[in-house]
Amino acid sequence: MTKALALAPTQRITSPTDAPEFTHYAKSANTQLAYRKSWADFAEFCYAYDHRPLPATVPTIEAYIAWCADHNKPGTIDAKLAAISFAHRAARQPDPTSDIRIKTLMEGVRRRLGNRPAGKAALTNDLLARAIKALPSDTLRGKRDRAILLLAFTGAFRRSELVALTMQDVTQETTGLVILVRRSKTDQSGAGMTKHIPARKDALCPVAALRTWIKTAEITSGPLFRRVDRWGKVGKKALDAKEIARIVKRAAQAAGLDASKFAGHSLRAGFVTSAAMAGVDEWKIQEQTGHKSLSVMRGYIRATGRGARQAALRAFDKPE
């Protein structure tokens, strides 16, 4: 525990998730971890500059924002403020981040630093085809990676959703697969959603790729995607979500692309971008991705200018 958190017994809180009210908010494990890191950063700042972290004052938050602005993007600062806000609400203390002075200061920070998202590049359908072609087809790991890339793209899966899949979540149908996602980032209550994976008649068929992986790896139950060691032995535990990013980067590099521009999120962004540029209705894209908000989903489209050019060209078309 840092000195900054050595508070009076009635006000002591070592992290946002240590407050007794935490269970009421039911934050996900990833959010808990992010909040702990952000709170630790704020606590260290308070210790270094002689501020009290909880309850913090508006001037303390203003000073922290000014300090963060030297080495953080606006979006990162927003995330840190969310953790501070949560800590105060959980400890039943006034939330200093909700003050109008903080809102005004953050508007100024965004104007000065800009707030353009720095998302990874989308692995669109054409780039995906290149990556699939570059994968080895005669190795177990190559078969697994092919199934992961094609399924993740077609189903617009998040990494966490993909690695959580089990054999019991996959249902075979005449037209393809129906996959049950038992829990996701936007479905912490576990209501579940289904994703429909259609079969294709070419090398980019996710159904055929998944069947090949399952058959070759001799998986009959348990986790769908697993580790394959250097000797070709298939593990029993599910892949770590971070491994999806490594698989995407390896495939991108094999296809002659700059691997540093791609990550696990590139497949989900690639699906949204490709579908949008093909003229698919937004509600249909949203049904597959599971986004709760259209505006959030639109942020996944990595096709700046292409839609505008199409609109400009079609503006000259004669009405039917």
Tens digit of pLDDT per residue, the chain (320 long)? 333 333 333 333 444 444 434 444 445 677 788 888 889 889 888 988 889 999 999 999 999 998 888 778 888 889 899 999 999 998 899 999 999 999 999 998 888 876 555 567 888 889 999 999 999 888 999 999 999 999 999 998 988 899 999 999 999 888 899 999 887 665 555 567 888 999 988 989 999 999 999 999 999 999 999 999 888 899 999 999 889 999 999 999 999 999 888 888 889 888 888 888 888 888 888 888 887 767 667 766 665 455 555 555 444 555 55
Here the contacts of 43-51 (C-beta below 8 Å, separation 24 or greater) are: 43/2, 43/4, 43/5, 44/2, 44/4, 46/4, 47/2, 47/3, 47/4, 51/4
How many Å apart are CA 282 and CA 294, to the nearest integer? 8
Number of H helices, E strands in the chain: 14, 5
Taking the whole predicted model, whether its pTM rises above 0.85 is answered as: no
Domains defined for the chain, CATH in brackets: 3-113 (1.10.150.130), 125-304 (1.10.443.10)
Beta-carbon count within 10 A of 37 CB:
14
Catalytic residue numbers, as ranges: 158, 185, 265, 268, 291, 300
Hunting for tokens 């899966």 — which residue is that?
157
> Which H helix or E strand runs over 90?
helix 74-90
